[in-house]
């Protein structure tokens, strides 16, 4: 199973999201071709109700602890409740271009 598939599987199981998008953005960074080190994660879940952003991110980090200790170097997390997602017109920010450097 790919790193991306593993991330998706763990987040589906742990958060039961109403929407999940996991994008491998490694190609945007200074890494070898076909790397799986940088990901953008958009997750919409009722599990985030009454939680601040930091607590939401900690919840995701806990679910992905093995991946963060191994192949994953960076996660761009966008965590929303269904109401927040709807208020954003089902849209998350675009990732910025890499500024270079070794990752």
pTM as predicted: 0.88
Distance, in Å, from the CA atom of 36 to the CA atom of 25, rounded to the nearest integer, reads 8
The H or E element spanning position 86 is helix 82-87
CATH of the domain at 23: 3.30.300.90
Distance, in Å, from the CA atom of 29 to the CA atom of 81, rounded to the nearest integer, reads 29
State which residues form the domain around 24. Answer: 3-87
In a domain, 40, yes or no: yes
Question: What's the domain count of the chain?
Answer: 1
Distance, in Å, from the CA atom of 38 to the CA atom of 12, rounded to the nearest integer, reads 19
Tell me the three state secondary structure of residue 52.
coil
In a domain, 98, yes or no: no
Q: What are the tokens at 96?
A: 């910025």
The string of pLDDT tens digits covering residues 26-83 is: 767 777 666 778 899 999 999 999 999 999 999 999 999 999 999 998 899 999 999 9
In a domain, 36, yes or no: yes
In a domain, 37, yes or no: yes
DSSP 3-state percent helix, strand, coil across the chain (nearest 5): 40, 20, 40
The string of pLDDT tens digits covering residues 72-100 is: 988 999 999 999 999 999 999 988 776 55
In a domain, 100, yes or no: no
């Amino acid at each position: 199973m790919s790193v991306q598939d593993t991330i998706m599987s763990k987040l589906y199981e742990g958060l039961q999201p109403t929407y999940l998008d996991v994008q491998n953005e490694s190609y945007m960074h200074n890494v070898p071709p076909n790397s799986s080190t940088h990901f953008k994660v958009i997750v919409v879940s009722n599990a985030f109700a009454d939680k601040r952003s930091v607590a939401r991110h900690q919840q995701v980090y806990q679910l992905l602890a093995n991946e963060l200790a191994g192949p994953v170097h960076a996660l761009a997390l966008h965590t929303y409740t269904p109401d927040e997602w709807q208020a954003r017109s089902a849209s998350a920010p675009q990732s910025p271009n890499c500024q270079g450097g070794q990752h």
